[in-house]
Amino acid sequence: MNRTTKDTTLGIMECPTVSETNSRLSHKQGRIIKERVIETLLFLAALSSVATTFAIVFILVYESIPFFQHTTVLNFLTDTEWTPLFDEARYGIMPLVAGTLVTTGVALTVAIPMGTIIAIYLSEFAPHRVRETVKPFLELLGAVPTVVFGYFALVVVTPLLQKIYPDLPGFNMLSAGLVMGIMIIPYVSSVSEDAMRAVPMHLREGSYAMGATRFQTAVRVVVPSAFSGIAAAFILGISRAVGETMIVAVAAGMQPNLTWKATESAATISAFIVQVALGDLPHGSIGYQSIFAAGLTLMLMTLVFNIIGFWLKKRFREEY
């Protein structure tokens, strides 16, 4: 019965004429062309990110080449003074690198222990409700504009520190680094917490079954298992701190100063770029060229940290 109905319906349908078939086929071809065009456009959009990277590398190298006609690469890396804008110009990047490393170091001594402890606490100790309330809050803190943190460092934290160390200058790397540390806590804790949450529950259960406390489980089971993710969080924090600009530009001072003492004032690479960019900047002047050389150095420093991070991630990856 069923079969006959089907047959009749088929019988009623007319065969398509030749011209109809052709128009359908060409319609289909139009469809294929449209699909191809869209796919190509989407591919080009995806390629734009690669183009951005090439553009960054190209511009930094291209604009730094004239700079290295004033000085040699060896001199750039070993000279201990950075005064490219003075009459007696010296082109040693070391003072700026030292400033960057000191502020980064201060920031990390705050952010890494606090960020990790907060992450362990949120992931292993805190009740569900606390975690759900605190996580979005931490994310919000990560979105605060850095110039606001710069204001805090200069106007609030430096006067507070001066009450403890009366000799502290108004611009100093200590307060900039401390505020930067507070700024990157959310990055460190959020990413390492995600890594710890991803550790499978049965590892924890195994540890508890052996009679371990939560602290023992956290330190001896969860942290080692999540180490590659935690390392990624540290690297993220370090590259944030190295590239951070506004806090140091506002609070750490603008004078290049080769020192490892955090209580002194010194410029970082990024602060130098801002300082030069704030003034008049004719295209092709030595000031213009010097900021690209400084930017190239900064880029290479973050690249080194990222490669270390990539290696750590690979070396310590645990598969479950």
Partner 1 sequence: MQQSVAEIRRLIARHKFWDYAFAIVGMICLMVGILVLLSLFADLARTGAPRLTPAFFTSFPSRMAEEAGILSAWVGSVLVMVVTACAAVPLGVAAAIYLEEYAPKNWMTAIIEINVTNLAGVPSIVYGLLALGLFVYILGFGQSILSAGLTLALLILPVVIVATRESLRAVPGSIREAAYALGATRWQMVSDHVLPYSSAGIMTGIIMGLSRAIGETAPIITIGALTFIAFLPNSPISPEFPFVNAKWLMDPFTVMPIQMFNWTSRPEEEFQLNAAAAGVVLLAMTLAMNAVAIYLRYRIRKKIKW
Min CB(8)–partner 1 separation in Å: 25
Q: Which amino acid is at 296?
A: L
Rule CB under 8 A: is residue 22 a binding residue for partner 1?
no
Show contacts with partner 1 in window 165-204 (CB under 8 A): 182, 185
- DSSP 8-state secondary structure symbol assigned to residue 82: B
- Alpha carbon of 55 to those of 61, 141, 278, 301, 307: distances in Å? 10, 32, 24, 18, 20
**Residue span binding partner 1 (CB under 8 A) among the ranges 68-76, 85-93, 148-156, 199-207:** 148-156
Min CB(140)–partner 1 separation in Å: 5
Show contacts with partner 1 in window 52-81 (CB under 8 A): 52-53, 55-56, 59-60, 62-63
Q: What gap in Å lies between CA 237 and CA 180, rounded to an integer?
A: 10
Show contacts with partner 1 in window 278-317 (CB under 8 A): 278, 281, 283, 291-292, 295, 298-299, 302, 306
**Residue span binding partner 1 (CB under 8 A) among the ranges 46-54, 69-77, 90-98, 161-169:** 46-54
Min CB(252)–partner 1 separation in Å: 12
**Residue span binding partner 1 (CB under 8 A) among the ranges 67-75, 78-86, 88-96, 114-122:** 114-122
| Count of chain residues binding partner 1 (CB under 8 A) | 78
Half-sphere exposure of 265 (CA within 13 A, CB side): 14
Residue in 67, 82, 152, 227 binding partner 1, rule: CB under 8 A: 152
* Other CB atoms within 10 Å distance of the CB of residue 8: 9
Min CB(277)–partner 1 separation in Å: 5
- Alpha carbon of 197 to those of 40, 94, 162, 218, 229: distances in Å? 39, 41, 41, 11, 10
The H-or-E segment that residue 154 falls in is none
Nearer to partner 1 by Cβ, of 257 and 270: the residue is 270
Show contacts with partner 1 in window 81-110 (CB under 8 A): none
Residue in 23, 33, 215, 304 binding partner 1, rule: CB under 8 A: 215
- DSSP 8-state secondary structure symbol assigned to residue 34: H
Polymer length in residues for the chain: 320
* Long-range CB contacts for residues 199-208, cutoff 8 Å, separation at least 24: 199/225, 199/226, 200/320, 203/320
Rule CB under 8 A: is residue 50 a binding residue for partner 1?
yes
Tell me the three state secondary structure of residue 274: helix
- On whether the CB atoms of residues 258 and 80 are closer than 8 A, the answer is yes
Rule CB under 8 A: is residue 154 a binding residue for partner 1?
yes
Residue in 147, 198, 210, 304 binding partner 1, rule: CB under 8 A: 147
Residue in 180, 244, 252, 290 binding partner 1, rule: CB under 8 A: 244
Min CB(307)–partner 1 separation in Å: 10
Q: What gap in Å lies between CA 68 and CA 55, rounded to an integer?
A: 20
